[in-house]
Structure 1
Amino acid sequence: MWIDAHLDLAYNAGLGRDLTLDLEALRSRDPVEGDTATVTFSELRRSGVGLCFGTLFAMPQTRFSAGYTSWQEARAQALTQLDQYRRWQDAGLIRLLDSAAQVREHAQRYDAATSPLGVMLLMEGADPLRDVDDLAFWQAAGVRAIGLSWGQTRYAGGTDAPGPLTDRGRELLTGMRELGVAQDLSHLDEEAFFEAVECQPRCFASHSNSRAFVDGNRHLSDEMVRAIGERQGVIGLVLLSTFLRRGWTPDERRVDLGEVRRHAEHYAGLIGWQGVGVGSDLDGGYGNEKTPLGIERYSDLERLAEALPDDVQEQVMGGNWLRWLEANL
């Protein structure tokens, strides 16, 4: 069974995508223009991925989107997505997992032909939380990991929005440590990163590539990678061409899977192959137009496995995440 550490399933449903359709049917009526869909439940089943982190992602207001402008609006988005996951579970499409024992049982019994997709809830950006006192509500709802930032949040600086942890962020990380909620370091600005891993060392990066090959604070510096490795964390590789090759633009030929292997090998050289996994982020704000060549749909993920060294394929495609989950949930 393979594991993907980052999929925006409920967010995509909120855009009007019906993930219960076959991919061809979804593409024929996709309400999202310009980003050709790759992910459906049937594609996940065909791929061999039986378990994932499913996000609760509240979109903030940007110059491109009319998103939230307050924590109340962010909370409303996250609650709608939580309800979507619960409705999928009621329909037998997924199984929400919230403990190491449940993850272990799911992995042992998983049958691609009959088992529902295992989903652990990951909050991407902490603005849906009113404050640290709200953490217990989300933990009881099944959230087992939180990333403080996406862009700038009330808790920390993030992608294209440099800044440190705020006092609110420090309080939240302390609360997460006490309740056993892990920290997702993806999107966290470097100015906040090193204090954050001291505050809550139960951490990982669900979907982050290497700054050695692509510039910008969205990506991990070697020092950040080592800090994750020192805490036995795992880093998920993102399958977005702009995150794989410096300077790539959509009018160019898509990158090949050798670029993904290059990031993987760089991470392995810093922290060992045990720290490398997949966090594809497929359909996470981009479509097939920006995936590597060979990844035309989610079930093509086997081609990523084939691009990795033979002796680490099972580790990277699932084993490392399974070990981390069993040790940290």
Structure 2
Amino acid sequence: MNAEAGRDLTLGLETLRGRDPVAGQTATVTFGELRAAGVRVCFGTLFARPHGSGSPGGYTDHAGARAQALAQLDRYRRWEDAGCVRLLRAGREVEDHLAGGSEALGVVLLMEGADPVRDADDLAFWVGAGVRVVGPAWGRTRYAGGTDAPGPLTGAGRELVTAMRELGVALDASHLDDAAFWEAAELGPRLLATHANSRAVVPGNRHLTDEMARAVAASGGVIGLVFLSTFLRAGWDLGQARVPLSELAGHARHYAELVGWEQVGLGTDLDGGFGQEKAPLEIERYRDVPRFLDLLPPEHRAGVAGENWRRWLTRFLGAR
């Protein structure tokens, strides 16, 4: 999203901020900032923007969504050619990357909103391209109800989730509406939630209920915590003081009480369309993310920082 907005993520953050093409949104993420924070592997999204999503243009049909996702895939490949990232497709590749000394950012491709997929038979194409995780919804898609768009899986959605199970593609529950979530869970794909906070703390179908969190954990999935003030405190508005990290730690503790610290990780979403203005109070740039870990029990900090995601990725990535 940052690159498509004209940001050059190879620049230092201060240089980027000095020539930032995005108005009203102070950048926090560059490749250098991710390295400075200690990030070695992340989920990288293919996110096609639907018409009416608050940005110019946007797709209105499958062809438009597919064109956006293919262009983003090409960008990741060009970054890989330049040595900025390494696309990771299997657990052993994650282990090799973490064991090596490469400064490239390891990227596992996640499709957020499945409209770029023509139908269930087309999923194999995207798997061949490196996609290992799919979230069927963002808002409403041809496949499922999603954020602020209640609804179940469609017939095509049930076929897609079944194909995901058969091809070993994990299902990201982060944006699924409740009805679609429970239908999908019954079909048996591997579940995770790459970026989803707790509905027990902040109302709304963008967040996980306690029952949903338990279902994700029962599937072996990890839940990533989102560093967005509107997701941390109910009713927060941009005109208010930014929410302190202690309230994010409250979401983490709630999840840990439900499913254990081993199922809790980072899912910051700081590159996901908002800037410093909506980040927690103590987060001025991405390298500040480790400050959050200081608020957690010492014995669980390494797990939340990355070991829980490493365990999931090396065990399940690409596995059928």
Report the TM-score when normalising by structure 2.
0.97
> Which of 286, 289, 297 is residue 298 of structure 1 equivalent to?
286
Counterpart in 2 of 1:313? 301
The amino acid across from 1:119 in the alignment is V
Counterpart in 2 of 1:18? 8
Counterpart in 2 of 1:193? 181
Alignment map for 1:97-246 (pairs within 5 Å)? 97-109=88-100, 111=101, 114-246=102-234
Matches of 1:244 and 1:264 in 2, distance apart? 11
Once the two structures are TM-superposed, the CA of residue 63 in structure 1 deviates from its matched residue by 6.0
Counterpart in 1 of 2:74? 83
Give the 3-state SS of the residue equivalent to 1:302 in structure 2. helix
Once the two structures are TM-superposed, the CA of residue 266 in structure 1 deviates from its matched residue by 0.2
The amino acid across from 1:106 in the alignment is H
Matches of 1:284 and 1:296 in 2, distance apart? 15
Counterpart in 2 of 1:29? 19
Identity of aligned residues (%): 62
Once the two structures are superposed, residues 11-31 of structure 1 have per-residue CA deviations (whole angstroms, 9 ceiling, x without a partner) of 221111110111011111111
Alignment map for 1:5-84 (pairs within 5 Å)? 11-62=1-52, 64-65=54-55, 66-84=57-75
Indicate conservation of the 8 Å contact 1:274/1:320, yes or no: yes
Paired positions, count: 316
Matches of 1:136 and 1:283 in 2, distance apart? 28
The amino acid across from 2:132 in the alignment is R
Structure 1 pair 201/178, CA: closer, same or farther in 2 (3 Å)? closer
Indicate conservation of the 8 Å contact 1:183/1:200, yes or no: no
Give the 3-state SS of the residue equivalent to 2:2 in structure 1. helix
Matches of 1:283 and 1:172 in 2, distance apart? 28
Once the two structures are TM-superposed, the CA of residue 220 in structure 1 deviates from its matched residue by 0.6
Matches of 1:193 and 1:120 in 2, distance apart? 22
Matches of 1:108 and 1:63 in 2, distance apart? 40
Unaligned runs of 5+ in 2: none
Indicate conservation of the 8 Å contact 1:176/1:200, yes or no: no
Once the two structures are superposed, residues 154-175 of structure 1 have per-residue CA deviations (whole angstroms, 9 ceiling, x without a partner) of 0000000000000101100111
Higher RCO (C-alpha under 8 Å, 6+ residues apart): 1
Once the two structures are superposed, residues 172-226 of structure 1 have per-residue CA deviations (whole angstroms, 9 ceiling, x without a partner) of 0111111111110110000111111121331100000000111110001111111
Matches of 1:155 and 1:22 in 2, distance apart? 39
Indicate conservation of the 8 Å contact 2:238/2:278, yes or no: yes
Once the two structures are TM-superposed, the CA of residue 115 in structure 1 deviates from its matched residue by 2.1
Matches of 2:2 and 2:117 in 1, distance apart? 21
Once the two structures are superposed, residues 75-116 of structure 1 have per-residue CA deviations (whole angstroms, 9 ceiling, x without a partner) of 01100100000000000111110001101111122x4xx521
Aligned Cα root-mean-square deviation (Å): 0.9
Indicate conservation of the 8 Å contact 1:239/1:282, yes or no: yes
Matches of 1:162 and 1:14 in 2, distance apart? 29
Moved over 3 A (4+): none
Matches of 1:20 and 1:297 in 2, distance apart? 15
